[in-house]
Structure 1
Amino acid sequence: MVPTAPYGSWPSPIDAALAAAHDGYPDHVGVVGDDLWWTEARPAEGGRRVLVRRRPEGEAQQVLPEPWNVRSRVMEYGGRPWDGADRTARGPLVVFVHFDDQRLYAYEPNATAAPRPLTPLSPVGGGLRWADPRIDLDRGEVWCVLEEFTGEGPTDVRRVIAAVPLDGSAAEHRGAVRELTEARHRFVTGPRLSPDGRRAAWIGWDHPRMPWDGTELILADVDADGTLRRARTFAGGPEESIAQADWSADGQLLFASDRSGWWNLYRGDPEAEEAVALCPREEEFAGPLWQVGRRWFQPLDSGLVAVVHGRGATTLGILDPESGELVDAAGPWTQWNPTLAAHGSRVVGVAASPRTAYELVELDTATGRARVIGCGHDDAVDPAYYPEPLIRTYTGPGGRDIHAHVYPPHSPDRIAPAEELPPYVIWAHGGPTSNVSLVLDLETAYFTSRGIGVVKVDYRGSTGYGRAYRNRLCEQWGVVDVEDCAAVARALADEGTADPRRLAIRGGSAGGWTTAASLAATDVYACGTVIYPVLDLATWLDVTHDFESRYLESLVGPYAELPGRYRERSPAQHADRITAPFLLLQGLDDAICPPAQCEHFLEKMAGRGIPHAYLTFEGEGHGFRRADTMIRALEAELSLYAQVFAIDRTDIPLLELTK
């Protein structure tokens, strides 16, 4: 007989160390020769990302030892940080961005020499940064995005497409870097060369638009000497978001556009400059371009196109552009990340499911067989402790839909007393132009296996449900996200799923904003966990990075016209309204949501008698990557809930709450 114990008090083999060890996923997949390469997180090694190589049917091997950290800081969220080229007898040549100095390096794995720098350092502002590289062996160059700071301010920056010599002549000389474009756009992606090398295509956009608002697909001719000329807009505009562009094997331009209200795939003739939809559906075939170099689709030599698509959850499909037929890969995976690579008839991507963490999955388009070939999921505990998600659609204000994933408390060796309702934590995702993924997450299981339910809300404004749903957050940030989270929480209580007295909310970044705004604007929650948040809209404009420095114009409205709205919605301006205990977690090296916001907020909370705790972490930026940080943060969060929800737990450090 299964023992009975109150919700939240259950023992669990999923401790914070285990959850931290399994944080992160493979990313930026690529093929060099016959070998598969990717980057992989190492939380136990200070959160660095390593470059990994897998030969055919061989074991995966880490390519670069510590301290090499393959990660770009372009636009602060980064982008594709490496590329490789096959040189037959000489072996592969790899170029990558090293996080610590943001220089571009060249590395020859078959040689004994250490990586050699290709780009110089700059003492100005954030220096020189690089992303989305493509090696051109014929010209002896790397074509990539150059982000160059021109002053000390976070918005003193320019971005162009540049060519870096592979011979190292630019390692100490900025003048040796060949700029391929003028600073026509504030933001650009790396160029994609047509199969014949005669044309290049890339995406550009400008403030105040974010890339999911409106971008332009730029097409240019490439001269024999590598000069780009006659750059012109092929598609896109202020109200059309193009998220990715590439070329088919026969020289047709492929791109993902939301001109129909959904990101669908289009094919265009570069001579005629017109395009047709290849598979028009009310589904997303792309997503928000938070990082340059993302790949939601991958053209194959056969003319077929591998596509990540779906509505909410995603799958991998193979599209025949001629017939429009789309055949999906069989398998348990419910989430495919925007990183694809192709080798012959095989496509490799990164996928996960509610029962498996992210894995490298290969689909053979000739046979239709999909198999795991790297980072295979290994159950660290009995899968009986994993939560089972429920896909729910709730009714929000005005009768509008709110999408959510509900994870009820679950344990194979404990049940709660029949009369007790469980506590629940509402998770508000970051972005806010993003969404929640339907995948196994041990951080979620950390709570559910102890008897605390979790519900992840795709509030209005989330991606994955078309542009109209995304646009419902326009000028409503801090209103509809707060309303939708509260509506889901109340629905859980009204239907008898959750204890209305033991509801909490938590989130990081934009989710931290929603959490703090919810504590200030509603009485739904007994407590909250606020992680590297935005807390004061007006002051955030002065300190955040360039990429998001105009984001609030679409989320809130123009500051010059609506300063009162910025004050009214900011939790920091209404600290007097917060009456629930809270935990505030902040990385001290965060350039996106700097710690000054938290410090000013806490000054206003001082002396109000509200129990709270503030934990800071040196060496952490926007998004925790170090194992020790993640352990401390998870245990502190659980301790907050235990104290507020009157749960007896003595197996975690006590979080000291001050007033």
Structure 2
Amino acid sequence: MTHEPRPAPCGTWSSPIDAGTVAAHDGRADHVGAVGEELWWTSARPSEGGRRALMRLRGDGGPPEVALPPPWDARNRVMEYGGLPWAGTPRPTGGPLIVFTHCVDQRLYSLEPDAPEGAVPRPLTPVSAVGGGLRFADAVLMPEHGEVWCVMEEFTGEGPTDLRRLLVAVPLSGAAAEDRAVLRELTDDTHRFLTGPRPSPDGRHLAWITWDHPRMPWDGTELRLAGLAGNGEVGPPVVIAGGPTESIAQVEWGARGEVLYSSDRTGWWNLYRTALTDSRDAGPPAVGPAEALHTAEEEFADALWKIGMRWFAPLADGLVAVVHGRGGKRLGLLDPDRGVLTDAPGPRTEWAPALAVRGTRVTGIAASPLRGYELVELDTATGYSRVVAAHHRDAVPADHLPVPESRTFTGPDGREVHAHVYPPTSPDHRPEPGELPPYVIRAHGGPTGRAPMVLDLEIAYFTSRGIGVADVDYGGSTGYGRAYRNRLRGRWGQVDVEDCAAVAAALAAEGTADPDRLAVRGGSAGGWTAAASLADPERTGGVYACGAISYPVLDPVGWAASGTHDFESRYLDSLIGPFDEELYRERSPLHHAGRITAPFLLLQGLDDPICPPAQSERLLAALAGSTVPHRYLPFPGEGHGFRRAATIARAVEAELALYRETFGIEADRSETLETETR
């Protein structure tokens, strides 16, 4: 039986999506990989303190198992955003051997899940009392050497940039568990950043990617190749691709022993291969010319925020599984010899950069606007796909979920601005006659990143109450080629602000949104954009009535002066320009706090090493005596991005309260804004 939706003021609609539901479904599966016939991955656990559980799916068709119970947390803090936290290998007897990093102490552990005495993790690396200690990521097991090879991040002092990174070999015997000197260094620390090792199938070569300050990995990286001796010694490397203006995002080995990699040398991350022309063990390896596998104006990679991300995976038959697209990412199969690309069927609009291969089967993590992220397996021999784990379960009826539309708006100077628009949606309510709904403009983090068009219960929390949402891929976002990505260079706080405001103004002008009830929100770099938008009403045309700012960058001067972690410590060189105090102050929302007249909400994790709470506290101090309504919610124990269920729930309720208070929406409120009068 159906019924007509009843008119009701937008923002007051009853909804089955409460803050607890949002928190319970925050996070997704990640880091899927194959261990023989088994699948392993990590899974978010907001209700367990935000830890990530290590999951196992045996090859016998049984249900998924939690391989590591609480309090084990399969994460690491390499480059603070972390990298691939586990690796595994099958064994003839005794079950698989797994290694993983534990977030609490950052040590590398081994795990024998089928051991008769029980699965008790055993430490492989020591604890260091220096600075941020020793951290490990992006590992590969080398049982023939009795070692696990990985990236090591080692702090040499107390400052956030006092560190070195290199490839190391960790004994599987546990001999290095209390002795740093036992770790065997495979490379030196000449380069500031690097990805994990990729040994060739024949064990004769090793490939990895490096880059250095002030470049970020999407600016320019180098693909290095070295000979590998039988005793595990790494020879002198040569650069076979990449450079200051060419980004290599991933490297793998093909079925015939060729090097496969993604490069944006044409302005788009496409796939290439290079054959080895000299397979000697000694001396630098020799390679042939690079061959493009499929040239297209779309992306076969993305920004390398976490080492170990995998956008393509070779199969034994020579095919290559790829996630690719313009904007969103879909799964395809590439025949590298013919250059033919065939997409997998299905409704999923986004595939994560995590692929596992078992024979002819490819497993990835995929979602759509109506289904959350699931582990989906494609059998390349039959073309049949199925969900194998992390099955979507409807948390609420589907008719309460918005169906987004991908749109291209026109920004200043006629430039394109991409966005996903999520309209207010409810089977029970509709706007009152003549009423236009309020809209929230969301600026994603990064800023070198993008907004995936997938089921997001945080978005649905607002749309189901009658508040629309627009996710903006402003200039500087990935997914649309290097030229679109470079649009933000030197203009952070300008292009992003203008593009978001252009979407807001367009929605109002076309009659989709109420021009008097528009808000801006964002976290991290999106928090910068939200704050900069409120602090620059001239640039935005004063389009916003309020803003929600989470764990933001606010003070470029402080950020540049050891105010953040090493990975992003030179990011502003490209986003704003080489350090110039006057320029950085001119661009800073903090130093223009006096221009803020719209109410705002400020959310901050007190253990955030990337955007430390000092920046938020400086903004509050700058507003002392102001009558601008604002509320500050600090969260002890939270870092960059909220993981705990209670934090997520309180944050989303406070954001709704901001909109209701500002827009004059009469409804039950769980939070009220406070006016700062200091």
- Paired with 1:602 and 1:578, the residues of 2 have a C-alpha distance of 12
| Aligned 8 A contact 2:627 2:675 in 1 | no
Aligned to 2:424: 409
- Deviation of 1:114 (Å): 1.3
SS in 1 for 2:470: strand
- Deviation of 1:558 (Å): 0.2
2:406 corresponds to which of 391, 394, 399 = 391
SS in 2 for 1:575: helix
1:240 corresponds to which of 231, 246, 258 = 246
- Deviation of 1:269 (Å): 1.0
2:95 corresponds to which of 77, 91, 95 = 91
- Paired with 2:17 and 2:378, the residues of 1 have a C-alpha distance of 32
| Amino acid of the structure 2 residue aligned with 1:606 | A
- Paired with 1:113 and 1:414, the residues of 2 have a C-alpha distance of 52
Please say if 1:540 is aligned against 2:559: yes
Deviations 1:454-496 (A, max 9, x none): 0010000000000000000000000000000111111111111
Aligned to 1:444: 459
- Deviation of 1:280 (Å): 0.4
1:379 corresponds to which of 391, 394, 408 = 394
SS in 2 for 1:634: helix
- Paired with 1:590 and 1:61, the residues of 2 have a C-alpha distance of 32
- Deviation of 1:89 (Å): 1.3
Please say if 1:125 is aligned against 2:131: yes
| Aligned 8 A contact 2:8 2:432 in 1 | yes
- Deviation of 1:65 (Å): 0.8
Greater mean alpha carbon deviation, residues 54-63 or residues 577-586: 54-63
Q: How many residues align?
A: 657
Greater mean alpha carbon deviation, residues 272-281 or residues 256-265: 272-281
- Deviation of 1:224 (Å): 1.0
| Aligned 8 A contact 2:372 2:454 in 1 | yes
- Deviation of 1:273 (Å): 3.5
1:591 corresponds to which of 585, 602, 609 = 609
- Paired with 1:349 and 1:66, the residues of 2 have a C-alpha distance of 26
| Amino acid of the structure 1 residue aligned with 2:472 | V
Aligned to 1:464: 479
- Paired with 2:621 and 2:395, the residues of 1 have a C-alpha distance of 43
- Paired with 2:415 and 2:630, the residues of 1 have a C-alpha distance of 35
TM-score, normalised to structure 1, is 0.99
Aligned to 1:552: 572
| Amino acid of the structure 2 residue aligned with 1:158 | R
Aligned to 1:498: 513
- Paired with 1:564 and 1:408, the residues of 2 have a C-alpha distance of 42
2:368 corresponds to which of 353, 366, 388 = 353
- Paired with 2:76 and 2:329, the residues of 1 have a C-alpha distance of 26
- Deviation of 1:657 (Å): 4.4
- Paired with 2:322 and 2:675, the residues of 1 have a C-alpha distance of 49
| Aligned 8 A contact 2:83 2:138 in 1 | yes
Please say if 1:306 is aligned against 2:326: no
| Amino acid of the structure 2 residue aligned with 1:22 | H
User: Any stretches of 5+ residues in structure 2 without a counterpart?
Assistant: 278-286
- Paired with 2:199 and 2:675, the residues of 1 have a C-alpha distance of 57
| Amino acid of the structure 1 residue aligned with 2:588 | S
- Paired with 1:563 and 1:370, the residues of 2 have a C-alpha distance of 55
- Deviation of 1:171 (Å): 0.2
Please say if 1:40 is aligned against 2:60: no
Aligned to 1:144: 150
| Amino acid of the structure 2 residue aligned with 1:510 | A
1:575 corresponds to which of 576, 593, 602 = 593
Aligned to 1:172: 178
Structure 1 segments of 4+ aligned residues over 4 angstroms from their partners:
none
| Aligned 8 A contact 2:657 2:669 in 1 | no
- Paired with 1:565 and 1:172, the residues of 2 have a C-alpha distance of 48
- Paired with 1:17 and 1:531, the residues of 2 have a C-alpha distance of 19
- Deviation of 1:183 (Å): 0.9
Aligned to 1:161: 167
Q: CA RMSD in A?
A: 0.8
Deviations 1:151-184 (A, max 9, x none): 0000001000000000000000000000000112
- Paired with 2:12 and 2:590, the residues of 1 have a C-alpha distance of 34
Aligned to 2:667: 649
Aligned to 2:434: 419
| Aligned 8 A contact 1:195 1:250 in 2 | no
- Paired with 2:119 and 2:248, the residues of 1 have a C-alpha distance of 41
| Aligned 8 A contact 2:23 2:649 in 1 | yes
| Amino acid of the structure 1 residue aligned with 2:10 | Y
| Identical aligned residues as a percent | 64
- Deviation of 1:390 (Å): 1.1
Aligned to 1:59: 63
- Deviation of 1:540 (Å): 1.3
SS in 1 for 2:508: helix
Deviations 1:520-575 (A, max 9, x none): 0021110000000000100012210000000000000000xx32210011011011
TM-score, normalised to structure 2, is 0.96
1:514 corresponds to which of 524, 529, 537 = 529
Aligned to 2:8: 5
| Aligned 8 A contact 2:20 2:645 in 1 | yes
Aligned to 2:79: 75
- Paired with 1:9 and 1:654, the residues of 2 have a C-alpha distance of 16
Q: How does 1:525-536 map to 2 (within 5 A)?
A: 525-536=544-555
